């Protein structure tokens, strides 16, 4: 069996900026990028069409929004600014470490997360001292949960088939996609990770 966990809302709790355009503007200004006067409007506008299920990388969106106002910024600066804007306070959810450890006793473990900010999931896990055998994010693989391709990518990263994958998350709309992809989904609005860890250790009482 291979197990994957959603990141935000399942393993960790994170403070998100109330006005993301303002957080990005501040991070851009810190890096010497001139921020347009109508940046809030530019940030809210769509600057590229994406196929259904595709992830829209935030750093790309920021570069396109700036370009629409005549401001050029290189990819690395845009990437650094978007990561800095969303790299806010985070904390482990109760039982997170125990759930990962119990899952690892059963087989390989991954974090499978929707996230449009490159590097944010990895940075978040490192900050709270959690690790997994693989971290599969929508911004890296190109597809958002519930699309089956992100679950396939997660199974592939663990050397398993989708049928062997059990995914644990908090959102039935996105995390529930594991079942439609051919795997198993354990979805709770407020996951009791300590209980899930116990069930994983029990084997017969496995949530998967």
At residue 157, does pLDDT exceed 90? yes
**Do 121 and 32 belong to one domain?**
no
* Last residue of one domain, picked from the residues 45, 68, 86: 86
**pTM, entire model:** 0.95
Number of domains in the chain: 2
Q: For residue 207, is it within any domain?
A: no
Any idea of the CA torsion for 204, 133, 112, 97, to the nearest 10 degrees? 60
**How confident is the model at residue 205, as a pLDDT?**
56
* Alpha-carbon Rg for the chain in angstroms: 18
Residue range of the domain that includes 79: 20-86
**How confident is the model at residue 204, as a pLDDT?**
57
Positive or negative: CA dihedral 99, 112, 104, 188: positive
Question: Can you tell me the distance from the alpha carbon of 190 to that of 208, in angstroms, rounded to the nearest whole number?
Answer: 17
**Do 73 and 35 belong to one domain?**
yes
Q: pLDDT tens digits for 78-108?
A: 999 999 999 999 999 999 999 999 999 999 9
Question: If we measure between CA atoms, which residue out of 203, 99, 106 comes closest to residue 160?
Answer: 106
Average pLDDT for the chain = 96
Q: Quickly state the pLDDT bin for 154 (edges 50, 70, 90).
A: very high
Question: Can you tell me the distance from the alpha carbon of 208 to that of 198, in angstroms, rounded to the nearest whole number?
Answer: 12
H-only helix segments in 39-147: 39-44, 58-67, 75-86, 96-106, 120-127, 138-141
What are φ and ψ of residue 82, in 5° steps?
A: -65, -40
**Do 112 and 45 belong to one domain?**
no
**Do 80 and 110 belong to one domain?**
no
For the chain, the distance separating the N- and C-terminal CA atoms, rounded to the nearest angstrom, is 9
Contact 161, 191 (CB under 8 A): no
Which CATH number covers residue 133? Answer: 3.40.50.1000
Is 79 exposed, middle or buried (CB count within 10 Å of its CB: 0-12, 13-18, 19+)? buried
Q: What is the mean pLDDT of residues 53-81?
A: 98
In 146-184, which positions are buried (b, 16+ CB within 10 angstroms) versus exposed (e)? bbbbbbbbbbebbebebebbbbbbbbeebbbbbbebebb
């Amino acid at each position: 069996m291979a197990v994957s966990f959603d990141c935000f809302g399942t393993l960790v709790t994170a403070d998100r900026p109330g006005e993301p355009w303002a957080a990005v503007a501040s991070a851009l200004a810190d890096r010497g990028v001139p921020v347009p006067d109508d940046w809030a409007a530019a940030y809210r506008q769509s600057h590229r069409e994406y196929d259904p299920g595709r992830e829209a990388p935030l750093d790309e969106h920021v570069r396109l929004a700036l370009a629409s106002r005549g401001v050029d910024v290189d990819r690395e600066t845009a990437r650094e600014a978007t990561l800095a804007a969303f790299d806010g306070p985070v904390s482990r959810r109760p039982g997170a470490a125990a759930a990962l450890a119990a899952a690892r006793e059963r087989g390989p473990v991954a974090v499978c997360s929707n996230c449009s900010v490159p590097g944010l999931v990895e940075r978040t896990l490192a900050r709270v001292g959690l690790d997994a055998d693989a971290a599969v994010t929508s911004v890296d693989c190109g597809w958002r949960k519930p699309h089956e391709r992100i679950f396939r990518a997660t199974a592939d990263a663990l050397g398993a088939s989708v049928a062997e994958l059990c995914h644990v998350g908090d959102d039935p709309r996105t995390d529930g996609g594991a079942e439609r992809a051919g795997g198993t989904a354990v979805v709770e609005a407020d996951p009791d990770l300590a209980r899930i860890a116990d069930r994983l250790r029990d084997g017969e009482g496995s949530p998967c």
